[in-house]
Structure 1
Amino acid sequence: MKYMLLIYVTPATTAPSPTDGARMMEAYESFNKAVAEAGVWIAGDALHGTDTATTVKVDDSGTRLVTDGPFAETREVLGGYYILDVPDLDSALDWAARCPGSQNGGSIELRPVVDFAAG
């Protein structure tokens, strides 16, 4: 079953130190290697900050409304995602707990991916 792991982080008010930034990159590289070697990795990427976001809505009249920034104002922001193909929710929970984004104040939201039949 495919699960999307949505990585939510609290935006830093200051840039991380070079040491902290290097540690985090090493942790993600290790996690990336682990999911690849386990054969469960389907996709995953980090996202640029919310200052690069654009939100699109279409109102009842069909008019497209474009707004700079994210739609919702929240304390945490979506920082990236993984899509993993694992046997069950328990396996997805295990991987989510290993993801560096679940530590140091971050959180992982797990959502099963809907598999629409072709055609």
Structure 2
Amino acid sequence: MKYLFLICVDESVEVSPEQGDPEQWVEEMERRGARLTGNRLCAAGDATTVRDSGRLVTQGPFAETKEQIAGFDIIECADLDEAIEIASKHPVASFGTIEVRPFWPE
């Protein structure tokens, strides 16, 4: 099954570069053949939100929450249990949130 990991952090939380660096996790998941792709995103303040069929366009994220989406990963694994195990190893899981969502079944 394929899963989308939404990597969510509170931009005001300060972490060391080592604590927030996903490179070791990325390398391990690519070796396992679990990670298909992923990337970091610019700050939430750089987002543009389009609603109401484009009649309403605003700068910034739609949701006003402390945690914002900072990146994503797409993984492929056997089941939700394995997806949770993989997400728990992500460095952001120690100070942020990893939302795990399955792709719509084909």
Structure 1 or 2: larger strand share?
A: 2
Matching residue within 17, 20, 26 for 1:21 = 17
- Contact 2:34-2:77 at 8 Å conserved across structures: yes
Cα distance in 2, alignment partners of residues 99 and 22 from structure 1:
13
Matching residue within 98, 102, 110 for 2:100 = 110
Change (3 A) 1:94 1:13: closer
Cα distance in 2, alignment partners of residues 36 and 45 from structure 1:
14
**Structure number with larger C-alpha Rg:** 1
Match of 1:48 in 2: 42
Change (3 A) 1:100 1:13: closer
Cα distance in 2, alignment partners of residues 34 and 71 from structure 1:
33
Pair 1:81 & 2:77 matched: no
Root mean square deviation of aligned Cα: 1.6
Cα distance in 1, alignment partners of residues 25 and 66 from structure 2:
25
Shift of 1:13: 6.0
Change (3 A) 1:36 1:13: closer
Runs (4+) off by over 6 Å: none
Match of 1:69 in 2: 60
Corresponding pairs, count:
106
Query: Structure 1 regions of 5+ residues with no counterpart?
Result: none
